[in-house]
Amino acid sequence: MGSEKTIAIVLAAGQGTRMRSPIPKMLMPLAERPMVSWAVSAALEAEVDECVVVVGHARERVEAELASRFGDRVRTALQPEQRGTGDAVRCALEAIPETDGRVLIYYGDCPVVTPGVIRRLLDAAEGAELALLVSSLAEPKGYGRILRDAEGNVVGIREERDCSPEERAITEVNPGFYAVDLRFLRDAVRALSSDNAQNELYLTDVVAQAAARGRVRDVHASFELLRGVNDRYELALAEAILLRRTREALMRSGVSMRNPDSIFVSADSVVEPGAELGAGVELRGRSCVRSGAIIDAGSILTDVEVGEGARVLPYTVATKSVIGPRAQVGPFAHLREKTELGPESKIGNFTETKKTVVGARSKVNHLSYVGDGVIGEDVNVGAGTIFCNYDGVKKHTTVLEDGVFIGSDSQLVAPVRVGKGAYVASGTTVTRDVPADALALSRTKQENKEGFASRLRSQRKAQKG
* Pairing between β-strand 178-181 and β-strand 130-136 as defined by DSSP bridges: antiparallel
How many CB atoms within 10 Å of residue 141? 8
DSSP assignments along 126-191, one per residue: TTSSEEEEEEE-SS-TTSEEEEE-TTS-EEEEE-GGG--HHHHT--EEE-S-EEEEHHHHHHHHHT
**Residue 39 to residues 7, 271, 326, 347, Cα–Cα distance (Å):** 14, 23, 39, 41
Catalytic residue among 57, 220, 334, 366: 366
Within 8 A by CB and 6+ apart from 211, the residues are: 153, 154, 155, 156
Distance CA 207, CA 184 (A): 11
d(CA 432, CA 438): 13
Query: How many Å apart are CA 454 and CA 271, to the nearest integer?
Result: 63
CB-based contacts of 92: which residues, under 8 Å, 6+ apart? Answer: 9, 52, 54, 77
Q: Which of 68, 71, 61 is CA-nearest to residue 12?
A: 61
Contact 192, 83 (CB under 8 A): no
The answer to whether 396 is a known catalytic residue is: no
Q: Distance (Å, rounded) from C-alpha 203 to C-alpha 193?
A: 10
Geometric angle at alpha carbon 204, from 21 and 146, rounded to 5°: 105
DSSP states along 67-88: HHHHGGG-EEEE--S---HHHH
Distance (Å, whole) CA 263 – CA 47 = 31
Radius of gyration of the chain from its Cα atoms, rounded to whole angstroms? 32
Relative to beta strand 144-148, strand 172-174 is antiparallel
Q: Is the Cβ–Cβ distance between 133 and 221 less than 8 Å? A: yes
Output the CA torsion 180→181→184→190 (10° steps). 50
φ, ψ (nearest 5 deg) of residue 30: -125, 120
Q: Is residue 316 classed exposed, middle or buried when 0-12, 13-18 and 19+ CB atoms within 10 A define those classes?
A: buried
Residues known to be catalytic: 366
